[in-house]
Amino acid sequence: MTTVRTRIAPSPTGDPHVGTAYIALFNLCFARQHGGQFILRIEDTDQVRSTRESEQQIYDALRWLGIEWDEGPDVGGPHGPYRQSERGAIYKQYSDELVAKGHAFPCFCSAERLDAVRAEQMASKETPRYDGHCMHIAPEEAQRRVAAGESHVVRMKVPSEGVCVVKDMLRGEVEIGWDRIDMQVLMKADGLPTYFLANVVDDHLMGITHVLRGEEWLPSAPKLLKLYEYFGWEAPVNCYMPLLRNPDKSKLSKRKNPTSITFYQRMGFLPQAMLNYLGRMGWSMPDEREKFTLDEMIAHFDITRVSLGGPIFDLEKLSWLNGQWLRELPVERFAEEVQKWAFHPDYLMKIAPHVQGRVETFSQIAPLAAFFFSGGLNLDASLFEHKKLSPEQVRQAMQLVLWKLEALRQWSKDGITAVIQAVAESMGLKLRDLMPLMFPAITGQASSVSVLDAMEILGPDLTRFRLRQAIELLGGVSKKENKEWEKLLAAIA
């Protein structure tokens, strides 16, 4: 019997997402339950959006949760490299193979031509898709143009009629019409593969036997299955996991719910409780108990117990479960965990330089610095009354700062200062005009230790969370304002 091998294949393009941890957990449990292996592969073919920092954050966040992998870019293994950006030659070889066998073809169409085709299709209410223009170029002619260095992508051929039957561990057989499937680009003009080619080639070469991935990928399953067929490879067994949802049932999004694992770490959740909660997403123990460890989950794991009704990721439910975990810790462990969270020398050393000059006794530290050890704050709306700005402008300024901070790549005091400065200037104001809003939002007080330093120390997750909280307290942002302010945002340097 072949060994079960599963994987998680995140793209390192932002904060480490709870959805990644959720899918990783189920892949891990499935592999362990069968005595198999769990692999981590980094899908960084999007060179513009992928960063090494984000990759590192994924490792840190998963490890913090207690998720370990047997093979991966950082631990090595016999099927490496495990980072797609280092496998360029492999994809090229397989793309060439598909073209040679007539399953794929070079496409020389310009962006203008593709736009025109799309516009025409939209006008006649057809599904926009590639019209097959370059598929009809004779292979020798196409090869000549490629050899001459003409810019091109490689597209896969797909059937024009009939249905593709996708086998899913949870849904059984799902039929998807080929008329809904485009001639997918496999290799981009820059010579890098798209997700589809790289994913199939890697899952095959890495010996992946079962793929548990989010259901947002189900509509594109036919493309992957066709590629396996073209290569003559056996496709892995597929399982499309239900997506995590906000309490209002919409797809989990950071506008409504913090989605970064680092947020939950900063808020003071216990990793075991967090992992336990992710295990409750669409799945339950045979005896329905709410609190269980990773080992217990593995021991009782059964993928068919995953239910398809969209699991709701609810902060209140998670907090309740975390409370159960905290209360059941031996008190020594509790004290240790608190220390590990934020009462360790590293964190205290960040805060010390900002409080030392402001206290006469140690006992004054806690009232001054409580916000460094808090999650959300109890805010007083009157602190946001501004000498120059109307209540609307106050909300506008804070929302613009929040949006800009959400996009800030390098979290540093200088970067944060530049953001606030740019927003102030866009409103005809000075940096110091906006500081009276930042103080209460971030520290809960009208004045405190340097708020710019505080934002740097608190980090992106808590800073954004508190700004969002303050904006909500002041009445939130209406749909109309949202539209208007997004336009202003686009104009800010």
Active-site annotation holds for 254? yes
**Contacts of ligand GLU in 27-56 (CB under 6 A):** 43
The piece of 6-14, 364-372, 431-439, 445-453 that touches ligand GLU (CB under 6 A) is 6-14
Interface pick for ligand GLU out of 37, 50, 199, 399 (rule CB under 6 A): 199
Q: Does 213 bind ligand GLU (CB under 6 A)?
A: yes
Q: Cβ closer to ligand GLU: 9 or 398?
A: 9
Closest distance between ligand GLU and the C-beta of residue 5, in Å? 14
| Between 208 and 420, CB nearer to ligand GLU | 208
When the beta carbons of 240 and 371 are compared against ligand GLU, the nearer one is 240
Number of residues that bind ligand GLU (CB under 6 A): 7
Q: Which stretch binds ligand GLU (CB under 6 A): 4-12, 74-82, 266-274, 431-439?
A: 4-12
By CB under 6 A, tell whether 257 contacts ligand GLU. Answer: no
Q: Is 164 annotated as a binding residue?
A: no
202 contacts ligand GLU (rule: CB under 6 A): no
Told to check if 9 binds ligand GLU by CB under 6 A, we report yes
Closer of 52 and 113 to ligand GLU (Cβ): 52
One residue of 4, 5, 6, 11 binding ligand GLU per CB under 6 A:
11
For the chain, give the secondary structure using H, E and C.
CCCCEEEECCCCCCCCEHHHHHHHHHHHHHHHHCCCEEEECECCCCCCCCCHHHHHHHHHHHHHHCCCCCEECCCECCCCCCEHHHCHHHHHHHHHHHHHCCCEEEECCCHHHHHHHHHHHHHCCCCCCCCCHHHHCCHHHHHHHHHCCCCCEEEECCCCCCEEEEEECCCEEEEEEHHHCCCCEEECCCCCECHHHHHHHHHHHCCCCEEEEEHHHHHHHHHHHHHHHHHCCCCCEEEEECCCECCCCCECCCCCCCCEHHHHHHHCCCHHHHHHHHHCCCCCCCCCCCCCCHHHHHHCCCHHHCCCCCCECCHHHHHHHHHHHHHHCCHHHHHHHHHHHHCCHHHHHHHHHHHHHHCCCHHHHHHHHHHHHCCCCCCCHHHHCCCCCCHHHHHHHHHHHHHHHHHCCCCCHHHHHHHHHHHHHHCCCCHHHHHHHHHHHHHCCCCCCCHHHHHHHHHHHHHHHHHHHHHHHCCCCCHHHHHHHHHHHHHCC
Q: Determine the interface stretch with ligand GLU among 5-13, 161-169, 301-309, 328-336 (rule: CB under 6 A).
A: 5-13
Out of 92, 157, 188, 254, pick the active-site residue. Answer: 254
Binding residue per annotation — 29? no
10 is an interface residue for ligand GLU by CB under 6 A:
yes
**Binding site: residue ranges?**
107, 109, 134, 136, 254
Hey, which residues are catalytic here?
A: 254
Binding residues for ligand GLU (CB under 6 A)? 9-11, 43, 199, 213, 217
